[in-house]
Structure 1
Amino acid sequence: MKLLHAPLPHFYAIALALAPIFVDEALAQNKDAATQHYAEYQRISTSEASKRMQMERDAGKLNGRLQREQPDTFAGLYIRHDPEFRVVVRFTENAVKQLAAYTVDPVYVAETAPRSLELLRAAQDEIGVQLTKAKIEYASEVDVKTSSLIVYVRDLNVAGEVLSKSLAAVDFVTIKETPGFIQTTTVSGGRLLEGDSQSF
């Protein structure tokens, strides 16, 4: 290993000049590894994996656009891998017509949902406020496939008492017991895999 010796201004200039090269190489290696992992997991070729990953990124952009432009009817979207790769886009009404206004790509499939993503997230926020006020540790997720909200707590009875009024008013919230919660860290890595829950 060679050590680089230079006056500080020169050293910083060299470091800044080399930074884009190192970043590009790191991103390329990370992308290649993610593509390979995805190909192996789905049992497809790396070229198909790369193509699907790009489609997932495009779906993420559409997801953000629909949340902004169709908040009253957009119910979320998710990736379906089998039997064919599809992006399922859900609306509370006129699903086929609404999707056609944004894309005619056959990879995207319209589906009708009972409630909007905005409504689910509003319920998620309200329940979060109630549990936080009661000093109850919790985690929650929106399940786009079923248009429901799942809340995880350590004690079902205590949480049930706190949320009794909210639970009586809606029929799409499920409370589940969990022995603990995953601790978050400041380091994130890897690729976001889509599942049943809203993840874009």
Structure 2
Amino acid sequence: MLKPVAVLSLLLTTSSLAAQEAPPPPVSAATSDVSAGVAYLMDLYGLSQSEADERISLEEEVSAFATQLKSSNPDGFGGIWIEHSPVYKIVVAVKDNTDAQALRKMVSPQMRRYLQTKKVKFSEAEIEVRIDRVIQALLPLNINYVSYYEHKNDSLVIETSLDSGVGLIRQALPQDLMSFVQIKKGSVPSQMQATGMQSGDGVYGGWSFSDSTADASRYVCSFAFNAKDNLNRPIILTAAHCANNPRIYYQRSGVPHWVSLTFEKEWIGPGTKYDYQFHRTDGLNNGAWVWFDNGPGKIDFKGFRPSDDHTLDSSKNIIASQSAEGYYAVKGTWGYYDQKVGQVLCKSGRSTGLTCGQITHGYYTFNGIKGWIETGLSSAFIYAVSGDSGGAVFTEPTTAGGIKAAGIVTAATIHDPTRNAKGEVNFSGDERPCLPFMEGNSSYPDVGPDCKMIHMPIDYVDDQQLITIVTQ
């Protein structure tokens, strides 16, 4: 059954490993013969490694081409996205009579093989204006909804979990926007300066933290990336909706002890497109590393009911090509305008470890504000749950272990793989709840397309003041 899952402050009862911080990073990043993103595409679509490698290799060119077209033809460019199924294609949306052959000559021969054009009603600029009008019209309703733009049918889809919300939204919209909008009932995802330091203590992206309670089993959120503030002081990023008094329990580095990080602005909350806060880490070891857990105990989630223990499903979340644990090296950033539908992103979080999916929607509205990115179509058993909030979202790791910082985990929805919509246990539990085949299954009448995760693009962190992600 599809349920909204709070990745905000659910306090998790964890395994014995919960009381340990990750080991310090190595001299070099984790490496593998097959990158996590390539393994994800191979798993989800049944591709050969060479086919998946080729698709991943084109993602940066797709983003660069979009930037070029938006600059050179702002009134005619309607967007760009990747489709992986039933056949692989890179689609350029155009409003005007742009010459398709001229577009093809602008890209590499490798990308040219897959490039297609699609005539659309609106340019990207016009889409933005219309979405802004919708958001303003719905603001007085004070109801939870999400929205995302579907290029395939030139429409904005609005989803609300309230039966009454569909009617309220329809009444609030200006008449000239009605043909632009589709309204339906769906699931609205939920938001999922140190003291006491000892020599050798550090903090890195992908680690998790507790709230102010001195209880090593009460982990509430994850860290994203190390950074520098406008005064070049060391800080670490997490989600704004997480506890603003993070505490880390250190065990591997010596005598067990707690380290508390002091609160430092910015702490950006509801009603904005920002979901981040940062904390000073003076005196702690830090660097351009993101920890990941890909081991047999990686799922730290008990489920929707006390009897559901998904920690036992950890082996189903493992990405076979990656090591059981390790660090990726942050080599750069991948901002909002770089992130296009169909591109592969991965995340590292406390509760589900390393998982990968692909961008399913941009122009995503959450908390009444556009500018979020939605990912889904994950091949993971469980994609993201409570405790993953604040975790690192990044481009798929290269075989050399390099990544680019893409965002901070904000919210998610998941399917309960063991029960149907009536709460009955009639599945074996072996199904991967994030795969598209769950949609339309008779035992899951309320299931949407698949598991979703929402993140705040990483370039939003310096909108208030200069913050620089630490990179190698």
TM-score of the superposed pair, with normalisation by structure 2: 0.34
Q: What is the aligned residue count?
A: 176
1:57 and 2:67 correspond: no
Instruction: Return the offset for 1:170.
Output: 5.0
Question: Distance in 1 between the 2:154 and 2:82 partners?
Answer: 15
Question: Distance in 2 between the 1:131 and 1:39 partners?
Answer: 41
Matched AA of 1:193 = Q
Q: Is the 8 A contact 2:79 2:124 kept in 1?
A: yes
Q: Which structure features the higher share of helix residues?
A: 1
Decide which of 14, 17, 27 is 1:21's aligned counterpart: 27
Q: Provide the residue aligned with 1:162 in structure 2.
A: 172
1:177 and 2:185 correspond: yes
Question: Distance in 2 between the 1:48 and 1:69 partners?
Answer: 31
Q: Deviations over 1:154-179 (max 9, x none)?
A: 3111112211x2x434522111122x
Q: Which structure features the higher share of strand residues?
A: 2
1:193 and 2:358 correspond: yes
Structure 1, unaligned runs of 5 or more? 1-17
Q: Deviations over 1:16-66 (max 9, x none)?
A: xx85735x32xx45x722211211211111222121112133212222332
Question: Distance in 1 between the 2:52 and 2:78 partners?
Answer: 27
Q: Provide the residue aligned with 1:124 in structure 2.
A: 131
C-alpha change, 1:47 and 1:130, in structure 2 (3 Å) is: same
1:77 and 2:80 correspond: yes
Question: Distance in 1 between the 2:86 and 2:167 partners?
Answer: 41
Higher RCO (CA-CA < 8 Å; seq separation 6+): 2
1:115 and 2:122 correspond: yes
Classify the secondary structure of the residue corresponding to 1:145. Answer: helix
Q: Deviations over 1:68-89 (max 9, x none)?
A: 3322111112223345321011
Question: 4+ residue runs of structure 1 moved beyond 6 angstroms?
Answer: none
RMSD of the TM alignment (CA)? 2.9
C-alpha change, 1:100 and 1:172, in structure 2 (3 Å) is: same
Classify the secondary structure of the residue corresponding to 1:114. Answer: coil
Q: Provide the residue aligned with 2:37 in structure 1.
A: 34
Q: Provide the residue aligned with 2:244 in structure 1.
A: none
Q: Is the 8 A contact 2:40 2:357 kept in 1?
A: no
Matched AA of 1:90 = A
C-alpha change, 1:53 and 1:184, in structure 2 (3 Å) is: farther
Classify the secondary structure of the residue corresponding to 1:44. Answer: coil
Q: Provide the residue aligned with 1:93 in structure 2.
A: 96
Structure 2, unaligned runs of 5 or more? 1-23, 193-237, 240-345, 348-354, 364-372, 374-472
Instruction: Return the offset for 1:150.
Output: 0.8
Instruction: Return the offset for 1:101.
Output: 6.1
Classify the secondary structure of the residue corresponding to 1:171. Answer: helix
C-alpha change, 1:192 and 1:36, in structure 2 (3 Å) is: closer
Q: Provide the residue aligned with 1:141 in structure 2.
A: 148
Question: Distance in 2 between the 1:173 and 1:129 partners?
Answer: 14
C-alpha change, 1:32 and 1:122, in structure 2 (3 Å) is: same
Instruction: Return the offset for 1:113.
Output: 1.3
C-alpha change, 1:101 and 1:173, in structure 2 (3 Å) is: farther
Q: Provide the residue aligned with 2:320 in structure 1.
A: none
- Choose 186-195 or 125-134, whichever is displaced more: 186-195
Q: Provide the residue aligned with 2:455 in structure 1.
A: none
Aligned residues with identical type, % of pairs: 20
C-alpha change, 1:136 and 1:83, in structure 2 (3 Å) is: closer
Q: Is the 8 A contact 2:94 2:119 kept in 1?
A: yes
Question: Distance in 1 between the 2:50 and 2:118 partners?
Answer: 29
Question: Distance in 2 between the 1:162 and 1:141 partners?
Answer: 18
Classify the secondary structure of the residue corresponding to 1:21. Answer: coil
Q: Is the 8 A contact 2:104 2:115 kept in 1?
A: no
- Choose 91-100 or 40-49, whichever is displaced more: 91-100
Matched AA of 1:45 = S
- Choose 65-74 or 51-60, whichever is displaced more: 65-74
C-alpha change, 1:98 and 1:174, in structure 2 (3 Å) is: farther
Question: Distance in 2 between the 1:20 and 1:60 partners?
Answer: 31
